[in-house]
Structure 1
Amino acid sequence: MSMTPLRSLAATAARIPNVIRSITPAACRFASSSSKSSSKASTQTSPLPKDDWVLPEIHVGPTHTSRYQQHYHDTLASDLMYMSYSHRLAQKPPKPEPIEPPQTGYEANRPRPPIMRGNRALRTKTTSVNEENVPQLESIIIHTMVKEAIINKSTLLSAIMALRAISGETPNGGGKKGSSGVEVIVAKKSAAAWKLRAGMPVSVKVELKGQAMYDFIQSLVDFVLPRLRDFSGIPLPPASTPKNSPASLTGIVSFGFSPTTMSFFPQIESNTDAYPRLHGFHVYFKTNLRGENAHEHARTLVSGFRIPFHRR
């Protein structure tokens, strides 16, 4: 083995300390300059105090167009006005003639005519249908009664989950401050026959307004009603029902469904195992109609959304 490689390695090792000494001052100067620049950048881009941070308000807009809402405003509203418009009600009644003061003392001291009294309720004033007061939906209420909740309150959970899935309503959810979500209804009076005490939770309900109620109608008409066996429509009240009854003077249309109907909603059918028990429910269509023929006009409005009715 020759000594030449060993000599070259020794010479290289002897030169390494000199190279390190020449590099170290430059590296220190670079490090000091970089630290100064970083300190300047940190002072320039220092974060703002926490009090100056303001969270932006997020408003959830419409995610889709409601076909049934467009159908009402484009077609159904004008048809309802054409079918239910009354020229007699549209005319303003003449103003009553002013009562003249008594001419003589005999007329002034005469007793007033007797006031007609009776036990019949006053007839509700009939609301005229015109271009400013077209029949329309105000809200839809879905109500479920759970009798088992008298013994076990936990049975209400399945009903609450089902109504929340069907309606999609949560308290102040989706940016809607007026949304109350699913509400638990408690008993107002005690009933010893059913072991019921005042204040016990017995049912749940949810109220839909705006676009949410039109989405519920679409699910009910397109997915649920066609799949019901032997379903001929919502039964109409008998012809002997008096037109002056409280139910006839309110523009509310109500009907009920069996527990099987709840499983046909697409929100529940996709995950039926998540609901240990299904319940029957009632649907209330609340309209802006009041007075004579209000119930008939309300049924006409509901039938315009393809919900059938039939005579028993």
Structure 2
Amino acid sequence: MACASLLPSAASSFHGQVLAPAAPPSVRLPWGSQRSRGAAVSVRASDGIVLVEKSEAEKVHRLKATYLEKIIPLLKEEFSYTNIHQVPKIEKIVVNCGMGDAAQNAKGLEAAMNDMALITGQRPVKTRARASLATFKIREGQPLGIAVTLRGNIMYSFLDRLINLGFPRTRDFQGVNPNSFDGHGNYSVGIRDQSVFPEIRFDALGKPKGMDVCITTTAKTDQEGQRLLALMGMPFREGGGPAVVQRKKKLKAHHFDSKSKGRSRR
């Protein structure tokens, strides 16, 4: 899918539908639905800005081009890969947002879906409960939040805006945690406030909502996954990383009982 861009428009305010007989077949809505040539395309504009997309000739995102031209040779030399297919790459990015009142607040759920569609460029889906839990008053099939899975150029576009726009606009940002890998090269990071993205209007935002971002890679180890994301610009916090994580041994209850008995004997 082509990467979306913002182009100035002569119309200051516009709403409705326009016929686009000369539009190329690659024109898509922000969440990726295909429009055939000659069909009516819904366009929304405000303040002279219209969301359109680039042509097929410019469909390769700059972050993906950097990965193909610069990152692959560096990783191949650093980790001594014998085959280019051994070089890790980003497979998909899953963005999800949990809402405890999703079942009772239908308008809030729809507003959250629209906000995530603006942030990611793809329409999210509702996540539902797989089983009923009486403790939390949850029924099977009840909506619990929203989620979206990004692949291809739209994935690189979201990651580029997250690194270069989202993180720098975060208050008191000192880097992301380098220890948030799962042991298989996949990385997860949480965003406390969606208003760090410029697509979200701060005055129209109600209760601040956060979201979780899970980056799935083909790396076999956390070191390879961290190096891949670091070369792409992920601002990891200094003084940590998968190589220096020390797991503390958990002491069971009988360990404390034996120590207390030894002290009482003395």
Q: TM-score interval w.r.t. the shorter chain?
A: 0.5 to 0.7
Residue 66 of structure 2 is aligned to residue 71 of structure 1: yes
Match of residue 189, structure 2, among 255, 266, 276 = 255
1:203 aligns with 2:145: yes
Counterpart of 1:6 in structure 2 is none
Partner of 1:58: 25
CA deviation vs aligned residue, 1:109-166 (integer Å, no higher than 9, x gap)? xxxxxxxxxxxxxxxxxxxxx3222111111111111112143333211220111001
Residue in 2 that maps onto 1:264: 196
Alignment check: 8 A CA contact 2:163 2:235 kept: no
**Aligned counterpart for 1:296 among listed residues 212, 223, 227:** 223
The whole-number CA distance in structure 1 between the counterparts of 2:235 and 2:163 is 10
User: 1:33 aligns to what?
Assistant: none
| Counterpart Cα distance in 2 of 1:189 and 1:153 | 21
Distance 1:235 1:273 in 2: 30
Distance 1:81 1:138 in 2: 18
CA offsets 1:44-103 (integer angstroms, 9 cap, x no match): xxxxxxxxxxxx9823443565221111111111111222226xxx6xxxxxxxxxxxxx
Correspondences of 1:62-141 after superposition (within 5 Å):
62=56, 66-85=61-80, 130-141=83-94
The residue that corresponds to 2:255 in the other structure is none
> Given that residues 178 and 226 in structure 2 are in contact (C-alpha distance below 8 angstroms), is that contact kept between their aligned partners in structure 1?
no
> Does the aligned pair in 2 maintain the 1:251–1:288 contact within 8 Å?
yes
The structure with the larger Rg is 1
TM-aligned CA distance change 1:151 to 1:68, over 3 Å: same
The change in CA–CA distance for 1:159 and 1:195 in structure 2 (over 3 A counts) is: same
Unaligned runs of 5+ in 2: 1-22, 28-54, 241-266
Aligned to 1:156: 109
Is residue 2:122 matched to residue 1:188? Answer: no
Q: Distance in 2 between matches of 1:191 and 1:296?
A: 38
2:94 match: secondary structure: strand
CA contact (8 A) 2:96 2:147 kept: yes
User: 1-side partners of 2:140 and 2:107: how far apart?
Assistant: 18
Deviation at 1:289, TM superposition (A): 2.5
1:59/1:150 Cα in 2 relative to 1: closer, same or farther (>3 Å)?
closer
Once the two structures are TM-superposed, the CA of residue 288 in structure 1 deviates from its matched residue by 1.7
Q: Identify if the C-alpha distance between structure 1 residues 230 and 276 changes in structure 2 by more than 3 Å, giving closer, same or farther.
A: closer
The CA deviation at 1:229 is 2.6
Q: 1:58 to 1:236 in 2, by over 3 A?
A: closer
Q: Which runs of 5+ in 1 are unaligned?
A: 1-55, 91-129, 170-180, 242-246
Higher strand share: 2
Q: By how many angstroms is 1:198 displaced?
A: 1.3
Distance 1:67 1:155, change over 3 A: same
TM-score, structure 1 as length reference: 0.55
Partner Cα separation in structure 2 for residue 204 and residue 74 of structure 1: 35
Alpha-carbon RMSD across the aligned residues, in angstroms, is 2.6
The CA distance in 2 between the partners of 1:161 and 1:277, in whole Å, is 15
Instruction: Provide TM-score, normalisation by structure 2.
Output: 0.64
Aligned to 1:36: none
Q: Is the 8 A contact 1:187 1:198 kept in 2?
A: yes
1:165-193 deviations in Å (ceiling 9; x for gaps): 01111xxxxxxxxxxx3111101122222
Preserved contact between residue 59 and residue 153 of structure 2 (Cα < 8 Å): no
Partner of 2:232: 305
Asked whether the 8 Å contact 1:146–1:155 carries over to 2, the reply is no
Question: Which residue number in structure 2 is paired with residue 26 of structure 1?
Answer: none
Paired letter, 1:304 = L
- 1:81 maps to a residue whose letter is K
User: Quick one: which amino acid aligns to residue 227 of structure 2?
Assistant: T
Comparing both structures, which one devotes a greater share of its residues to helix?
A: 1
Moved more, 61-70 or 218-227: 61-70
